[in-house]
Structure 1
Amino acid sequence: MTGDPRPAASPAVELRAFIARLHFYVGLFVGPFLLAAALTGVLYVLTPQLEEALYRQALRTDSAGPARSLAAQAEAARAIAGPDARLFAVRPAAAPGRTTRVMFVEPQLGASESRAIFVDPATFAVKGDLVVYGTSGILPFRTTLDHLHRDLLLGEPGRYYSELAASWLWVATLGGVLLWAWRRTGRLSRKAPQNARLRTRRLHGLIGVSLSLGLLFLSATGLTWSRWAGGRIDALRGGLGWVTPSVSLSLDAAAAPAMGDHAHHPAGAPPGVAGQDTAGQDAAGHLDAVLATALAAGIDSPMVEIRLPRPGSAWLVREYDRSWPTQVDSLAIDPRTMQVTSRADFAGFPLVAKLIRWGIDMHMGILFGVANQVLMAALGIGLMVAALHGYRIWWQNRPAPGALPRSLVQSWCRLPPRTQIIVALAMAALGWALPVAGLSLAAFLAVDVLRWRHARTSARSLAAE
């Protein structure tokens, strides 16, 4: 691209101009996706208390007395579920006053959905009948918010929006921090504070820098369960041996393939559900014996789930308390001998697997309880405020009609050759590691070139007149 009348500046100045232009483009085009992800994320992390209130009748019971057998509770739920429902898991009441959750798979349910019947463990009274979602078994209200955050209720095509936001958030954050640091040492920081445009820019920069570590965390953890970038991350982890251990449910194999962290996110389908047949239903009478074996083997969290075996496979007993301290141990139990055949204890996970587990749970606002919820909500609100101030900066500094703007490609062309190569390689690496970011970068460049050419043509027309 040629025709830039401005004299060449120093390489450092040109690099700053390029980063400023890239930051501007990311904010302008990805800003709406960041706003949507932040808003829906804030709503999601604030739902646990609201969910307790909305579904109190199903989750709690006022009856007194000792809990009856799990097998009998499952049988009471099965009488309500009907013949087409296939029992696949039971979550015993985690505390006095809580209900037991008995989960079924039915043909009419969607992917990753199951039907949960909530049973009073003392009286067998059915307290609720709800569709729950994913391995976390989240309830309908939070399921809607989960889909809203993940795909804007658009299904699989909508997942690209959240991946786009996560892919560019770290780039926008690092670029913003660099620009803030450069401006802090330049003349801009000493100009009149009453200037409205400068006040907006300073506030935008201050918010971004203050939240930068949290925003980088959100970007990194969000990418772990995205579709395309998540696949790249899983492949990298597999190659480096950073996989999350899992139990083997096969009665003929000594070890199982490792299971990625996607299986722990609400979006994942319940493992072991697909293909289960009615042979597993007869095993329900052994639920109490299986639980006793698991307790004797060290499963000590009150939040435990028992999954019925498929033909030729073992029972799966897993903890699902992902608050701090994390309790997600799991083990397999042979239905013939009631012996533990495989186990995966969180204490024995590799450090990277633990960090990923903690990172995902913190992202979802469940690792440290209310404090975690408040922190994630503050990050989301701060991101929304920063994005809105970014649009205000753009509006306050929009070019006059007929002005010829500096384009992103033009800024790159003014860099020193070696810097151009480094930037091009970095962009290529970005496009490979984060495919959605790569495609959107190509779209940025196309829009950039078209916008620059349109502005140049308009300027020439005005000059001719």
Structure 2
Amino acid sequence: MTALTDPPTSTQTAPPDTRPSSAEPNGRGWFRAFLLRVHFYAGILAGPFLLIAALTGGFYAITPQLEQAVYAKELHVPAAARALPLSVQVQAAVKAAGGATPVTVRPAPGPEDTTRVLFTDPSLGESEYRTLFVDPGTGTIRGDLTTYGGSGALPMRTWISNLHRSLNLGEPGRIYSELAASWLGVVALGGLVLWIDRIRTRKRPKKARPASGRARTLWLHGTTGTILLAGFVFLSASGLTWSTHAGANITTLRSDLGWLTPAVSTSLNGQPAGQAGDHSGHGPAPAPTGAAADLTLYDTVERLARADIITAPMIDIKPPATAGTAWTVTEAGREWPATASAVAIDPAAGKITSRADFDDFSFAAKLTRWAVAAHMGLLFGLPNQLLLLALAAGLAAMVIWGYVMWWKRRPTRGRTWAVGRPAPRGAFIRGPWAGVLAAITVMVILGLFLPLLGWSLLGFILLDAAIAAAKRRRREPAPLR
């Protein structure tokens, strides 16, 4: 960031400026000056959102281990010699729930795990379910907790997840995370361009690692950002799929390109299968309407699914939401190389009515599922979590280093409102018309696809113009009387 100095007066002499100009009217300098200015404003104003997202995201990365420790009683049981039929386990949960009809059953994936039986509850929020945990060997209810979404997040992980997504402020709070995700990729890529340009244009060899001061902070900022660039871009792109405004545009784009995840058809009259999303926030099906009153059908449905393409230990069994529709069984695991195959079943006829084999998914649909699981720290287990922690720590450090550099080279001390000037104003509009037009086109497209990025970028421009106007007024001499 370039320090802002006042024009010399009769009692004040300005030192000569030996720095190279960063805003040649018709050279490449115009774009560098513009990029530097956007990078500066995004770092100063979007930095707090990025810092919060980094800290809460790092916290979320360790929730699998925390969940296993905090909810060990609900999640785990001594291994039994033989498990009870699934229908008996479900019956125990239904009795404990006062006769309510389950919306989803997740049989115990291992001999020391519990079976989850999910029920709707009008007192709970969207995608939240009352979940009873059943000992497969004895039918004993081990716990009664609220779980969230298709991933079955327990209360602690749900709270941390909502902290990361919306600061636990509900829908309005999601603006913060969408702003952070929107700017993260732009700031990271723009920073790479600036860093490469800085290295390429150095006139004399320098030490690879400056000893101290702002130069060292800049070296740490640039080097760390370059090393972690791919991770930052990945977090930005995958995080935006959860967002409100940009996420809707991404879903529309995926639909237009045929990249949505195939889903089975639950119709029993031969209708074609549809498509579904991929996020853990998508909860179980709506409450059944009496079609699943015969609990012995759970045994039939599980047997038919296991005899077909369903092989994963963790599965979700959903009874029909309405009369005349099929049961569905979906592989629920997200670790590598878990799949997401699904089948629709008519237990009365004893047959599979529709199937969606993960091996037949398009590469884009598979990639989306893998990306979501990796963003959640579930794809590769502990290595995935450690990588997310490293990215979170790196992003937090990048934001802090950015503020340190701004403070060390802040405007003239004593100015209460100045925020600094990283490059001369007006460099962008003095560039070659073709380049300026191309840059404006890219900004408009990005702004339309990522609305919060577009509106905040417009806010940066208006803020910069307001600061420039205020400075001009301060420098204008007082009228003579």
What is the TM-score normalised by the length of structure 2? 0.90
Conserved in 2, the CA contact under 8 Å of 1:183 and 1:189?
no
Unaligned runs of 5+ in 2: 1-5, 8-20
Counterpart CA distance in 2 for 1:312 and 1:237 is: 30
Conserved in 1, the CA contact under 8 Å of 2:26 and 2:431?
no
Counterpart CA distance in 2 for 1:213 and 1:355 is: 16
C-alpha distance after superposition, 1:28-52 (max 9, x if no partner): 1111111111111111111101110
2:138 corresponds to = 123
Query: How far off is 1:411 after superposition?
Result: 3.0
Q: Report whether the alignment pairs 1:460 with 2:476.
A: yes
Q: 2:74 aligns with which of 40, 44, 58?
A: 58
Counterpart CA distance in 2 for 1:409 and 1:273 is: 56
Query: How far off is 1:138 after superposition?
Result: 0.8
Paired residue secondary structure (1:283): coil
Counterpart CA distance in 2 for 1:284 and 1:225 is: 36
Q: Report whether the alignment pairs 1:399 with 2:411.
A: yes
Query: How far off is 1:191 after superposition?
Result: 5.7
Conserved in 1, the CA contact under 8 Å of 2:132 and 2:143?
yes
Counterpart CA distance in 2 for 1:214 and 1:296 is: 40
1:273 corresponds to = 286
Counterpart CA distance in 1 for 2:422 and 2:65 is: 50
Q: Report whether the alignment pairs 1:303 with 2:314.
A: yes
- Structure-to-structure mapping, 1:41-440, within 5 angstroms: 41-62=57-78, 64-83=80-99, 85-187=100-202, 190=205, 193-194=210-211, 196-261=213-278, 265-270=279-284, 272-273=285-286, 276-277=288-289, 279-310=290-321, 311-400=323-412, 405=421, 410-440=426-456
Conserved in 1, the CA contact under 8 Å of 2:25 and 2:431?
no
Paired residue secondary structure (1:412): coil
Conserved in 2, the CA contact under 8 Å of 1:115 and 1:131?
yes
C-alpha distance after superposition, 1:247-267 (max 9, x if no partner): 011112431321122xxx232
Where relative contact order (Cα < 8 A, 6+ residues apart) is larger, the structure is 2
Distance 1:239 1:231, change over 3 A: same
Unaligned runs of 5+ in 1: none
Conserved in 2, the CA contact under 8 Å of 1:131 and 1:140?
yes
Paired residue secondary structure (1:203): helix
C-alpha distance after superposition, 1:151-183 (max 9, x if no partner): 111111111111111111111011100111111
Counterpart CA distance in 1 for 2:404 and 2:203 is: 18
**Which structure has the highest helix share of the two?**
1
Amino acid at match of 1:418: A
Q: Percent identity, please.
A: 45
Amino acid at match of 1:201: L
Amino acid at match of 1:255: P
What is the TM-score normalised by the length of structure 1? 0.93
Query: How far off is 1:199 after superposition?
Result: 0.9
Paired residue secondary structure (1:103): strand
Root-mean-square deviation over aligned CA pairs? 2.2
Paired residue secondary structure (1:90): strand
Query: How far off is 1:58 after superposition?
Result: 0.4
Indicate the larger mover: 280-289 or 302-311: 280-289
Aligned positions, number: 454
Counterpart CA distance in 2 for 1:461 and 1:188 is: 40
Distance 1:113 1:462, change over 3 A: farther
